[in-house]
Amino acid sequence: MDHHCPWVNNCIGMYNQKHFVLFLLYTALACLYSFVLLIVRATYCPTHSDSEFCASRTKKEASLDMFCGILAFFLGLVFCMFCCVML
């Protein structure tokens, strides 16, 4: 047993380190994917405000989208850096 990880609530050792690294990698990919989707929405909605996808969007929602996108990007970077260190 190497150490106890509070993220997965389990001990990380030689036999389950692969699963731990895959968990981190999938989490990083999910963060980066959500960042890309939020950026696409942020670039699409100002030019197509009459579409059904953007019709009910307020300024508060747009600023929340940008905040969540930036947060997801930095979380994805942190998880990617941790995965690179683990390999």
The one catalytic residue in 5, 45, 54, 80 is 5
Q: Which of these, 34, 26, 32, 10, lies nearest to 77 by C-alpha position?
A: 32
The four Cα atoms 41, 44, 47, 48 give a dihedral, to 10 degrees, of -90
5 assigned to active site = yes
Other residues' Cβ atoms within 10 Å of the Cβ of residue 69:
19
Q: Which of these, 83, 70, 65, 67, lies nearest to 28 by C-alpha position?
A: 83
Q: Which amino acids are annotated catalytic? A: 5
